[in-house]
Structure 1
Amino acid sequence: MPARPPALPAASRATFWRSLQTLNATRVVIALLLLAYLSLGNRAGLDRSICLLYLALAIGFALSALFVRRRFMLQLLSPIACDLAIISLLYLAGGGIRSGLAILYLFPLAGLAILAPLLVALFCASLVSLFLLGDSAWHLLLADTSERDIMSAGLYGAVLLAAVLVVNRLAARLIGQEALASRRGVEIAVQQAVNRLVMANIGDGILVVDPQGQVHASNPAAQRMLGLAGLEQLERPFSLSAAVALAPLTQAYADWRADSGRATTLLTLRPYNDAALAGVTAAWRARRDLAVHLKVRFAAAETQGLGAERGVIFLQDMTDIEHQAQQLKLASMGRLTASIAHEVRNPLSAIAHATALLAEEVDAPLPQRLLSIVGDNVARVNRMVEDILQLSRKAQVPSEPLALDGFLAALRAEFSETHGLVPDLIAVSVAPGALVRFDALHLREVLLNLLSNALRYASGGPASIRLSVVADTARRLELHVQDDGPGITPEGRAHLFEPFYTTAGNGNGTGLGLGLYLARELCLNNEARLDYEYRFNSDGGANGPSLSGRFVITLKAAG
């Protein structure tokens, strides 16, 4: 057992002082009870004087331990010595072993066994035992008592020694358990501090979710990715299903819980478009145009037997990774561009010039048609080269605003006529007077690319392709391009805007996989953003909500 409180942790030392104060308070109560007992029994004045002295000393010891927290062993042993002396005086005044006051020795010796080393407690118990035996032996010599009283004194001494030993061992075990708990508490507190530091600074998001989709804990990265930077202001636990923008994450978590989903998936979320999250953070309105591309991984926490099941959702923002991959491909494309400029454009110019000269000399319809095909394909290849070359150019945002209503109406008419479409296949929804800052030729190229992709997957019915302009509160306009075809798979979304990635090889100009990449780069050059977001349609039938998607161009409003 620890010999002194200073060798123990601060929490254990505080426990020792509290125990000493409790012992002192008990001493005061015992002194009052003795005083009352002796007063009722009309005992001798010596007994009453001793009790009054004991009460005064008990109060003094209690006040000392309460206000002076120094020299613990001195403040412990001094009252114990006083207890033994006072009880011995009462014992002698009461007539010795027959008074029954020997039981009072148990109080100070038990307190000493708890708060002092075992050797000190046994020493004091031995002194009391010797005193009891000595007093009984003296009365036996005086013929005032019998041998039975000596046996009673010996039994009292044995009981006191046994009690001291048992109480000391129990107290030692409890003190050891408290010291261990204190050390474990410090270790747990340090571990929690480290965990909080790691979770606060780690780049990946972490959500702790129960089977019902209630978020019980999250780190700042996850709150930032999901638009929940002020999550502490919301009701805890926060439900993922409460935010419509987090529906893809909620659905993926439910699929994983049902063992029908994958442990890892890719999602695109637009949390700042969700009215349920408005006001959570001051930056919510200003970031409404942002979308996050997340790699999501699910894992189950080992909580068997704890009565609480928890799942952990790890979120990794793929935006920076996609950007780095594109930059690497762009660097290699820059080297390819120099070669194309010298090795392809000059031969193309020669072929185009030769084709024009032959067209002037040939009058027959068939050669003219063949020369026209050659010229068209030369122009097409030259346009591809120009598209590649313009990746390294930065366009200047035009100073003149572009009116979207007239621009989209003219573009729809041109696209419908070029592809022979019925007039109502493309639906346009835009408020009159919507002005943006975007180069008209660049926006035309971006939309023609997106409309061509939409035409490939749309059903062909009325309004199967929709162009709509939506205003937000951050001086921006969103131009949505959506069709009624199936959405892009998460695997395809992961590479959607990468150069030279394509799932089409039909020879219509999309085979190089540069269309969407060029469209995004043109948007960036015009201080706009092109993105793809998933949407859940409620008309999915018996299979539940169906997954679709749309392209969103976030434009800078003029004004």
Structure 2
Amino acid sequence: MMHTARLKQTRETFWRTLQTFCVTRIVIAVVLLIYFGFNAVRGAEALEVTDSWGMFVAYGVLAVVFALSSVYWQRQFITQLLLQLMVDIAAISLLYITAGGARSGLAILYLFPLAGAAVLAPLILALFFVSVVTLIMLSESGYQLLHSISDVSPSRAGLYGAAFFAAIYVINRLAAKLIKQENLAAQRGHELQVQEAINRLVIADMGDGILVVGNDTEVFACNPAAERMLGLSMPVGKTDWKITAYPSLMTIADAFQAWRHRQDGDVDASSFVMVKPGDAATGATRDLVTHLKLRFAKVESPGLAEDRTVIFVQDVTEIENQAQQLKLASMGRLTASIAHEVRNPLSAIAHAASLLREDAVDPTQKRLLNIVGDNVVRLNQMIEDILKLSRKAHTHTEPLELGPFLEELLDEFDESHSVPPGVIALGRMDGVRVRFDPLHLREVVVNLLSNALRYASGQDDSIRIELVSPLPSRLELHVQDDGPAITPEVRAHLFEPFYTTSSKGTGLGLYVARELCLNNGAMLDYEYRMGLSREGADEPSGRFVISFAVRN
């Protein structure tokens, strides 16, 4: 099959070359008609032009017929070639003899059909036609010599013949070399197409996603696995899109830019990100959140004008879920141990410290007892946060009306934290219902409001709770304050247990809040989005986002 394809390609090349010679033949016929017609007008009598008009017209008609045949009847290539060569040699020979033989200088016209034979015919056949032309020229010179015509030299015809032999041999060898190179190029091209087809099949069948991107996050290639992981539904063959065009993929874009600007040269560095799969065009969604492992590899090629990077995408959501189950099991055993082994001694320490504080008179003793009391309270709060995880199994399956729930929660929060009226602004949430355990959602929102109250300016609407629906099948609750955004360095560890930037915090509040959200099929995250600052400028700001799976 490969040989047949190469042979077909070679035949197409031969036919195109033959068509070129046919066009050249028509041009030569037209030029000859114009030339001899001009001489006839001038009254030149050196040539018997009148007797040659029929031959010129016939030759021009045959040239057109040969051209049409090479285009519309591509069969019997050798037969067509031989017929055209014989007509060319016959016409040129008649013109050569009529014009006076070698003296006319028209012997050079033989080079046209002979060159065509050298390019398109085998060497033996091309040399045969050279021999025929040489015999015609020698015969014409011998005839004139027998008739005692002056200024006749057979050596001139012999020199023409020798020159034709040399030229045709060189042209034939060069043409054969070019044809061989073309066949080799066609073979390499076919092998490359087969390899590309294999690569596409392997990449399309891979379980891991593959993205080929440029420095501006433009995607040049994307396999089906990557589309599934990212929740996209691209048309077949579409690659002219950018990762930054989809807000849900900004975490991938941020990880890619961070890798590009890294100076340690670790080209195989991996990153773990979480994305909310969703197609902005179709609204197609998959899971609420997908945990992805990204590995970046730079494409290095000396001849590559632009940088390319391959991003290997692996879905580790299932692995994370399994790890989560193991973590919850361990946490359950830990909470039971803490409840029995730590809380009771801690209560005894707190009671003893309070008794000592009643009799303490020395300021130093009071200060030390206060330190003991503060740390007892902190440890007790840490135990309370850990014990909250044990209540995750008690989920509430009934739909919860979000508006009245948040209004009641804010009334209690304002009263318990002495929040001035108007500081916390609640957006409209008429008729919105979600599936979330009320106790769990209360703990999550109170935790977020406590953090916001710590950093907000305290002005009117400095803390905002808004409901956003970026997709028809997704609902988000935003909790945002007008304080400074969390730095990317802190953001990377924000939801890790026991990580805190406050001397009075336990580092478990946000961790517990995220675990409670996951237990209710939701997701808690901190995102950077464009928004109006306090001065009215459009700049990126941070906010906590609770993503509910579906609207109820």
What is the TM-score of this pair, normalised by structure 1?
0.70
SS in 2 for 1:450: helix
The answer on 1:502 being equivalent to 2:464 is no
Please list every run of 5 or more consecutive structure 1 residues that lacks an aligned counterpart in the other structure. none
Match of 2:133 in 1: 128
CA distance in 2, matches of 1:7, 1:287: 45
Q: Deviations over 1:360-418 (max 9, x none)?
A: xx999959x99x99998897576455434345x362412xx433333223323333444
Match of 1:208 in 2: 214
Please list every run of 5 or more consecutive structure 2 residues that lacks an aligned counterpart in the other structure. 360-368
Match of 1:466 in 2: 464
Match of 1:164 in 2: 168
SS in 2 for 1:69: coil
- 2:6–2:186 Cα contact (<8 Å) kept: no
**Percent of residue pairs identical:** 40
**Shift in Å at residue 188 of structure 1?**
5.9
What is the letter of the counterpart of residue 447 of structure 1?
A: V
Match of 1:534 in 2: 528
Residues 491 and 182 of structure 1, relative CA distance in 2, 3 Å threshold: farther
Residues 292 and 491 of structure 1, relative CA distance in 2, 3 Å threshold: farther
SS in 1 for 2:209: coil
CA distance in 1, matches of 2:455, 2:273: 21
Residues 43 and 352 of structure 1, relative CA distance in 2, 3 Å threshold: closer
Comparing 451-460 and 480-489, the one that deviates more: 451-460
SS in 2 for 1:395: coil
Q: Deviations over 1:17-61 (max 9, x none)?
A: 122233345446656776888896784998667667756765665
CA distance in 1, matches of 2:299, 2:141: 74
The answer on 1:75 being equivalent to 2:115 is no
What is the letter of the counterpart of residue 389 of structure 1?
A: S
SS in 2 for 1:436: strand
SS in 2 for 1:397: coil
Question: Which of 325, 334, 345 is equivalent to 2:329?
Answer: 334
**Shift in Å at residue 78 of structure 1?**
3.5
- 1:294–1:315 Cα contact (<8 Å) kept: no
CA distance in 2, matches of 1:545, 1:300: 37
Q: Deviations over 1:35-93 (max 9, x none)?
A: 88889678499866766775676566555544443443333234323433454455456
**Shift in Å at residue 112 of structure 1?**
0.8
CA distance in 2, matches of 1:150, 1:183: 49
Question: Which of 511, 517, 520 is equivalent to 1:523?
Answer: 517
- 1:9–1:182 Cα contact (<8 Å) kept: no
What is the letter of the counterpart of residue 163 of structure 2?
A: V
CA distance in 1, matches of 2:232, 2:182: 41
**Shift in Å at residue 16 of structure 1?**
0.8
**Shift in Å at residue 237 of structure 1?**
6.8
What is the letter of the counterpart of residue 553 of structure 1?
A: I
What is the letter of the counterpart of residue 502 of structure 1?
A: Y
Q: Within 5 A, what are the aligned runs for 1:200-349?
A: 203-208=209-214, 215=218, 217=220, 219=222, 229=233, 281-283=281-283, 310-312=306-308, 320-321=315-316, 324-325=319-320, 327-335=322-330, 337-338=332-333, 340-341=335-336, 343-347=337-341
Match of 2:364 in 1: none
What is the letter of the counterpart of residue 155 of structure 1?
A: L
**Shift in Å at residue 14 of structure 1?**
0.8
**Shift in Å at residue 480 of structure 1?**
1.1
- 2:290–2:317 Cα contact (<8 Å) kept: no
Q: Deviations over 1:442-481 (max 9, x none)?
A: 1112212223333444455554433223356626542211
CA distance in 1, matches of 2:549, 2:4: 69
CA distance in 1, matches of 2:19, 2:143: 38
SS in 2 for 1:468: strand
Task: Count residues with an aligned counterpart.
Answer: 524
The answer on 1:387 being equivalent to 2:388 is yes
**Shift in Å at residue 11 of structure 1?**
3.3
Match of 1:115 in 2: 120
Match of 1:551 in 2: 544
What is the letter of the counterpart of residue 549 of structure 1?
A: G
What is the letter of the counterpart of residue 172 of structure 2?
A: N
Residues 139 and 501 of structure 1, relative CA distance in 2, 3 Å threshold: farther
Match of 2:111 in 1: 106
SS in 2 for 1:282: coil
What is the letter of the counterpart of residue 149 of structure 1?
A: S
CA distance in 2, matches of 1:145, 1:239: 85
- 2:401–2:434 Cα contact (<8 Å) kept: yes
**Shift in Å at residue 239 of structure 1?**
7.7
- 2:231–2:286 Cα contact (<8 Å) kept: no
Question: Which of 416, 431, 434 is equivalent to 1:436?
Answer: 434
Q: Deviations over 1:517-556 (max 9, x none)?
A: 4333433443433232112456599xx9765321112346
Aligned-residue CA RMSD (Å):
5.5
What is the letter of the counterpart of residue 208 of structure 1?
A: G
What is the letter of the counterpart of residue 102 of structure 1?
A: A
- 1:240–1:250 Cα contact (<8 Å) kept: yes
CA distance in 1, matches of 2:273, 2:408: 35
What is the TM-score of this pair, normalised by structure 2?
0.71
